[in-house]
Amino acid sequence: MTHHTDVRQAVEDDVAELVRLRALLFEDLGGDFFNPSSAGDDWRNALAAVLKEKLTRDDARILVVDGDNGLAACGIGTIEQWFPGPHSRNGRIGHVIGVVTDPSYRRRGHSRAIMRGLLGWFQERDAVRVDLYASREGEPLYRELGFFDHPDPALCWRP
């Protein structure tokens, strides 16, 4: 079995595996919010199209760790240009989206390695803040890496 945590940027040949890992993430999160009964499988095709587009964009970084037969882990970072303010000198806000490790590769440091790579990328691009939503399993790692409770309550709306 592979036990290295060499992180690399994803390429187009990784898209099918990225979709597989993202599906695992949603299964782990569970509930009707992440797995609505009406979702079908169309989201997978839409995800594949967005992943292909984002692979070459400067506002996204998709990092992966290879396994024996596919990807062991992946993580996505994006940067958005928000409006600057006293709490956000340049308005560049990073987001960590869906760090996930295949169950057969967990507890080997892959998520930590991906997160370190993403945090370095955010620093290089002068993000003033990086936000993420943590699963219960992932929260200890993120806190160890310096993440803390956000001062704003998170709310959402679905049209």
pLDDT digits (tens, 9 = 90+) for 16-74: 999 999 988 877 666 665 555 555 678 889 999 999 999 999 999 999 999 999 999 99
Topology (CATH level 3) of domain 7-144: Aminopeptidase (3.40.630)
Q: What is the spatial distance between Cα 97 and Cα 76, in angstroms, rounded to a whole number?
A: 5
Q: Which of 75-79, 108-112, 119-123, 131-135 has the lowest mean pLDDT?
A: 131-135
Q: What is the spatial distance between Cα 54 and Cα 61, in angstroms, rounded to a whole number?
A: 8
CA distances from 82 to 94, 133, 150 (A): 10, 19, 17
What is the four-CA torsion angle of 101, 69, 58, 124, rounded to 10 degrees?
A: 60
Q: What is the spatial distance between Cα 62 and Cα 75, in angstroms, rounded to a whole number?
A: 6
Cβ–Cβ < 8 Å for 90, 79: no
Residue 1: pLDDT band with limits 50, 70, 90 = very low
